[in-house]
Amino acid sequence: MPLSKTITIKRTDGIDLDFPGLIALLNQEVRERYGATELVYDKYSHIKNLGTVVIAYCNGIAAGCGCFEKFNNYTVEIKRMFVKTTERRQGIASIILSELETWAKEEGFSRAILETGLELPESIVLYKKAGYTPIPNYGQYIGMAISVCMGKEL
């Protein structure tokens, strides 16, 4: 019989002690999938001064994270979504994304956008299931053939 797992969510910020460790795992996985191509994106993957971080815990251990930043007066950009490989396929990413969307709505935002990549098909599936649809690449992702940008009205 499988052990039951308790998933809890914490709203925090970028200086939370659990966040950098999760981000290091995210960066490692992305580099393994994209190789040197990821170096172009590194400058957009900062984690400083983030006041809107969500961390998911599985039985009290950090299992995943995500955050958002203000993009404009009505839009947030969802960033740094990640779940440890050992904790995937349990709905944790969906829980994190839902919490980020709820928080953004509470802050007065009405739209969310994000960027993911062609080499992250499971992310594309997650976002489509959550109601995100493809949008033209924006900002630093314009002209980036491996980028997939998506948006959703909150």
Segment 29-64, tens digit of pLDDT: 888 876 655 455 555 555 667 899 999 999 999 999
Residue closest to 64 by CA, chosen among 93, 30, 43, 36: 93
Residue closest to 8 by CA, chosen among 53, 61, 66: 61
Percent of the chain with pLDDT over 70: 88
CB contact at 8 A, 126 and 144: no
Q: 40 in a domain, yes or no?
A: yes
Q: 114 in a domain, yes or no?
A: yes
Q: 116 in a domain, yes or no?
A: yes
Residue 109's domain is classified under what CATH number? Answer: 3.40.630.30
Given a cut of 80, is residue 66 above it in pLDDT? Answer: yes
Percent of the chain with pLDDT over 90: 69
| Domain count across the chain | 1
Task: Give every CB contact of residue 110 below 8 A, 6+ residues apart in sequence.
Answer: 74, 75, 153, 154
Q: Give the least confident one: 41-55, 63-77, 97-111, 117-131.
A: 41-55
Query: Of the segments 24-28, 32-36, 101-105, 116-120, which one has the largest average pLDDT value?
Result: 101-105
Q: 37 in a domain, yes or no?
A: yes
Q: 16 in a domain, yes or no?
A: yes
Domain, as residue range, for 14 = 7-153
Q: 1 in a domain, yes or no?
A: no
